[in-house]
Each structure stands twice: as C-alpha cells, then as structure tokens.
Chains A and B, each alone.
Chain A
Amino acid sequence: MTATSSPTPVLQARGLVKRYGQVTAIDGADFDLLPGEVLAVIGDNGAGKTSLIKALTGAVVPDAGEIRLNGKPITFSGPQSARAHGIETVYQDLAVAASMDIASNVFLGRELRRPGVLGSVFRMLDKKRMRQEAAEHMADLKIGLRSLTQSVETLSGGQRQAVAVARSVAWASSVVVMDEPTAALGVKESGQVLDLIRRVRDKGMPVVLISHNMPHVFEIADRIHVHRLGRRAAVIKPSDYSMAEVVAIMTGALTVDEAGDTVVADSEAAKAAGVQAT
C-alpha cells in the first residue's frame, strides 16, 4: 500500500480473533472497506470468510480485535445492533416471506403505523405510505416490477433478490453486505443482480460482496479481499492480477509482498496452477 492519504474506511477491523474450542475460525484478521467501493471477499471453503462476515455484521462476537465504523471503535452485541448502526445483510435466498407482497417484505419487521390514535391505540399499519416508500426505493434502484402488491413468490429468483437488495439498501446507512447473492441464480438473472450491485455502489453505498464466482468478482469488484487460513492474505485490484493468480493466492500457491508483487510460496502448486512470480 502506498502512503497517499487514503480515506477513512467505512468498516474496518484489526486483529480479529474467534475461536470455537480447538478451532480458530478467525486468526488475527484485518479488514478494510473504503467509501463507495464494492469489496469482494473471496476464500476457499473453510478459510473463515463466513466467520469474518458474521463478526462484522454482529452475528458472532469476536474474542479479540477491534472493529471500527467510520473510524470509531464499535462493538456489536448481535445482528440487531449491527443493523441499528446501518449495516444491512442480504442473505442468499432465505430472507423473504414468499406469500407476502413486495411492500410488506421491504418493511418486514419495521412496519410503519398510521399517525395519531389509529396507530398508537389501534396499532393500524400505514399500508399506503409503505407502498409509496417501497415504490420509491425500487425506483431509486431502477428495479422495474409491474406491481408492488404481487406476492414475492410470483417473482423470478432475480427479482426476489432485487427485492431483498432494495430492502437492505432502504435501511442501510453505512454498509450493505451481500452473501453469495448470485449463487442460486441463472446467468441472465446473475447479470441483473450484478447491475443492481453497481447501482447500489453508484448511490454511494459501499458493498461487501461474498462470492465464490470468480468471473462475477472480477466483473464487479473494485478491490478483492482474499481470505486464507482465518486471516487476510491479500487485498488486490482485479485489474492488476489474472483470475489464475487470484486463485493461486487463495490456495496459498502465491503470496503478495509489500510492493504488490506476487511471490511463489509453493512452487509445485504454483506450477500446477500455471502461475509464476511477477
């Protein structure tokens, strides 16, 4: 990393540790998400990227290390506390209520009530306002759906994911984390979701994208955080490296030195992967 005055990371972690008995899931991991970027987090199965993301979204409490949000140290007691600080997570495909309509899903768990006695005593929902605001959020991200009163189960997989993304963007004030958002989708729908991620970024909302799909990562990420053996192995720009090199970093065949050059760490593995030091 060069010493130019880099902006304060939106979400930052230093030396995170999480142990489960004998197993160390996070082993002194660092993390930096810069304003307005799409940061992809990749890593082999078991590298600990899920644990890292859980720590950053409050789903697990780390044993050691520090998390900073917009430069200020912070601790999350649970997912609710991370949400309260504007960190929203889009889960693979679990988190929509299929028989409910789009507006209800956008406002699920955060329903708006009517003003006055109707809302306070009779607990009456303000359905009209929720529909209007949901429509604004969808329009904001240029998500074209015929009707907000259709149930989510009538939507395609990509559209459902779009609803989930719109919901998270509507409530996120700092960060949107997306866990494998294209894993369950076909080629065309994946493309639509990638477009959507771009529009989220263009609104100025930083995105953390966890993905196994290397072409998707290379297409959309501004930077790639490569996770290996419970810690950050490298942060790279996709334009500087080939996919084969990134995979080699992921598997430990290559490492990245201070200057950003790759160094062969495991010559046999590197040979097998067809990559070499720069």
Chain B
Amino acid sequence: MTATTTPYSDLKAPTTARRLLTAPTTGPLAALLLACAFFSLSTDQFLTGGNFSLIVQQVMVVGTLAIGQTLIILTAGIDLSCGAVMAFGSIVIAKMAAEGSLPPLLAIALGLAVCGGFGLLNGLLVQKIPLPPFIVTLGMLNVAFALTHIYSEEQTVTNLPGPLTALGETFPLGNTDITYGSLVTIALFLLLAYALSNTGWGRHVYALGNSAEAARLNGIRTSRLTIGIYTVAGLLYGIAAVLLISRTGVGDPQAGQTDNLDSITAVVLGGTSLFGGRGSVLGTFIGVLIVGVFRNGLQLMGVASIYQTLITGVLVILAVTVDQLSRKKAR
C-alpha cells in the first residue's frame, strides 16, 4: 500500500446530507415528488388528504406483495406467483370463514399458513433442486391460479363475517379517514426496512444477492436463508390476502391477476436491482407510491386507464435502464 498512515476521514457515519444525496432512493423519491407536483398543478382534486388516503388504500395490497417481492429480488430471484398465491389465500380464508364455518381468526391463520406453505415450496425448489426462480414461480403461478378457480368453483365468496373486513374500516386523522389496513402495510414496510438495514439477517440477504458463493464462504447458511426468505415472502402474500378481503369485502377468484407484474414494477421503480444485492424496502414503498400516484393522477385528469398502463410500462423500462447504466458506471 502506498499510504503508510491511515487517514480514515469518516470513521463516524457519513453526514445526513451526504447520505441523502447518495442514497439509492433519492432518484425514485425525486420522481415521486415531481409526479405529485405535476398532478397538483394539473388537477385540484389531487392534493387533498382524502385523495392521499385513497392512494394508499389503492396500493396497500400490491405494496404488501411488493415487500415480499423485494426480499426475493434482493437475492437475485423473482416471484411471478405472488398475486396468484395471494388470490388462493384469500379464497381459502373467505370460504373457510363463510362456508366452512371456521372462526374468522382461524380462517385467517389457515390462509397465512397456506400462503407461507407456497413460499416454502418455492424456496425449497429454488434452493434444493436447484431450479431458476423464474421457472419455479411461473409454475407455481399456474398451480395457485388453477387451485383458486377449482376451489372457488368460479364463484365469488360473499357474506363474509365482520372481523374479516375489519381492516377495511377507517378512523379519522384530522379530517381524513384512514383505513387500518393502510397502517398494517406501512407497519410492515417499516418492520422489514428495519430488519434489512439493522440486523445481521438483513446483511446476509444482501450478501446472498451479491454472491451466494461469497456468502457461503463467509459462513452464512445460504440454503436456510434462501428458503426462509421465500417463506417470509409467502407469509407477506398471506397478509396481502387479508388486506385484499378487507378492501373488497368478498373473496374474488379473479383478484390479483396482474399483481405479480405490478409488484415487480414497484420494486424496480424503487431502485432495487433485478441483479440482486442492491435496493431497499423503503425504495419499494416509494415505487409503490409512484405507481399509485400516476394511476390516481391520470384518472383524476380523465385519462383512460389503458394509458395509465402504457405509462407505467414506460416508467419500468426507464427505471431498469437507469439501474443498468448506473451499474456499468460503478464498474
């Protein structure tokens, strides 16, 4: 080494300002604020507490799915089955509570276990055989989709007992009504953000995404870790199923069919790399809000919903391009 002295200029944590400027969530956050500014100027219905509460309600299901999706994408995997697993979970919960006469909480527990089981199965197939996550979860997407329609007999499950939709109820905050479900989603984001950035488990998730081999050589039990991540993601899909029921008030076998791609969209917009090892759950939260704000704002402006889809697609391609270019620059 050329230096004989050791000039560790910043042994302390970097300053807040520097951290904010260099954080990977800065770009997505700027995009979100720009979008908000644009829609605030374009339509005066946008910038209201009620509308923001609505946006959060609109994105809480996809947002919860996107938390699990973020964990999996951080390991350089992908999960195409999340929406279908959630739909199956919601049908299980709804039918068990409405027709199987299980107590609502037990039905919910069963739904969580079913979704967690799907996650576990995904993880085992990805880790133990091993198979590419894309293929495993593509297969699981079809399995869960088919099971949903077989088990529901294509019927929407109605007449759900009250407790199942409790999270859809609201409480006033100032003069805005907030649903309890929104709080659950936000709490989950905070919980996973903490776990990823402040625990050893979080470090290991990032290390696994950087290089599974390097993680293994450093004594991280990568097999257990991978299976655990897919299982946690499955449980999150189960919670999303509960939120879905609380929002729609029914068990709908048609629900969640595009949610897998929407969750991937949110993760990518939030600055998490599809190559694994970089990104954050808070970025995903911003990504979810970007999607929600665009859909909501364009709707308020009277733009047809197919154009909303078009614009979301363009945004995703832009986000991935930025990711790829910044990776190239880092080399």
Using a CB–CB distance below 8 Å, which chain A residues touch chain B? 79-80, 83, 89, 91, 94-100, 104, 108-111, 113, 122-125, 127-128, 131-132, 135, 138-139, 142-149, 153-154, 162, 192, 195-196
**Chain B contact residues, majority secondary structure:** loop
Total number of residue pairs linking A and B with CB closer than 8 Å: 110
Alpha-carbon distance between A146 and B198 when the two chains are bound, in angstroms? 24
- Whether A108 and B218, one on each chain, are in contact in the complex, defined by CB atoms closer than 8 angstroms, is yes
Q: Which residue of A lies closest to B199 (CB)?
A: A123
Instruction: Find B11's partner among A135, A144, A192 (CB 8 Å cutoff).
Output: A135
Among B4, B6, B220, B278, chain A packs the most CB atoms within 10 A around the CB of B6
Instruction: Find A94's partner among B2, B11, B214 (CB 8 Å cutoff).
Output: B214
Least Cβ–Cβ distance between B327 and chain A, in angstroms: 9
Alpha-carbon distance between A143 and B13 when the two chains are bound, in angstroms? 20
Give the residues in chain A near B213, CB-CB below 8 Å. Answer: 94-95
Alpha-carbon distance between A154 and B213 when the two chains are bound, in angstroms? 20
- Whether A123 and B2, one on each chain, are in contact in the complex, defined by CB atoms closer than 8 angstroms, is no
Using a CB–CB distance below 8 Å, which chain B residues touch chain A? 1-14, 195, 198-201, 203-204, 206-207, 210-211, 213-215, 217-220, 277-278, 330-331
**6 cross-chain pairs, A with B, having the tightest CB-CB distances, nearest first:** A144-B3, A111-B200, A97-B210, A109-B219, A109-B218, A123-B199
- Whether B203 and A132, one on each chain, are in contact in the complex, defined by CB atoms closer than 8 angstroms, is no
29 sample A-B contacts, Cβ–Cβ < 8 Å, listed by A number: A79-B219, A94-B213, A94-B214, A95-B213, A95-B214, A95-B217, A96-B214, A97-B207, A97-B210, A98-B277, A100-B277, A108-B218, A123-B195, A123-B198, A124-B198, A125-B199, A128-B12, A131-B13, A135-B6, A143-B1, A144-B3, A144-B6, A146-B7, A146-B9, A147-B10, A149-B13, A153-B331, A192-B2, A196-B1
The answer to whether A149 and B10 touch (CB under 8 A), given A94-B211, A98-B211, is yes
Alpha-carbon distance between A83 and B210 when the two chains are bound, in angstroms? 22
- Whether A110 and B219, one on each chain, are in contact in the complex, defined by CB atoms closer than 8 angstroms, is yes
Alpha-carbon distance between A89 and B10 when the two chains are bound, in angstroms? 29
Give the residues in chain B near A83, CB-CB below 8 Å. Answer: 219
Instruction: Find A97's partner among B9, B206, B331 (CB 8 Å cutoff).
Output: B206
Alpha-carbon distance between A146 and B219 when the two chains are bound, in angstroms? 28
Give the residues in chain B near A124, CB-CB below 8 Å. Answer: 198-199
Q: Which residue of B lies closest to A162 (CB)?
A: B1
Alpha-carbon distance between A113 and B199 when the two chains are bound, in angstroms? 8
Least Cβ–Cβ distance between B75 and chain A, in angstroms: 12
- Whether B210 and A111, one on each chain, are in contact in the complex, defined by CB atoms closer than 8 angstroms, is no
- Whether B11 and A109, one on each chain, are in contact in the complex, defined by CB atoms closer than 8 angstroms, is no
Give the residues in chain A near B198, CB-CB below 8 Å. Answer: 122-125
Alpha-carbon distance between A158 and B261 when the two chains are bound, in angstroms? 41
Alpha-carbon distance between A138 and B5 when the two chains are bound, in angstroms? 11
Give the residues in chain B near A95, CB-CB below 8 Å. Answer: 213-214, 217-218
Least Cβ–Cβ distance between B76 and chain A, in angstroms: 11
- Whether B277 and A99, one on each chain, are in contact in the complex, defined by CB atoms closer than 8 angstroms, is yes
The answer to whether A99 and B206 touch (CB under 8 A), given A142-B1, A144-B1, A149-B13, is yes
Additional A-B contacts beyond A96-B214, A125-B198 (17; CB < 8 A): A79-B217, A94-B217, A97-B206, A97-B210, A100-B206, A109-B220, A123-B195, A128-B13, A131-B13, A132-B11, A135-B8, A139-B6, A142-B4, A145-B8, A147-B10, A149-B14, A153-B330
Among A94, A108, A111, A146, chain B packs the most CB atoms within 10 A around the CB of A108
The answer to whether A131 and B11 touch (CB under 8 A), given A98-B277, A109-B220, A111-B203, is yes
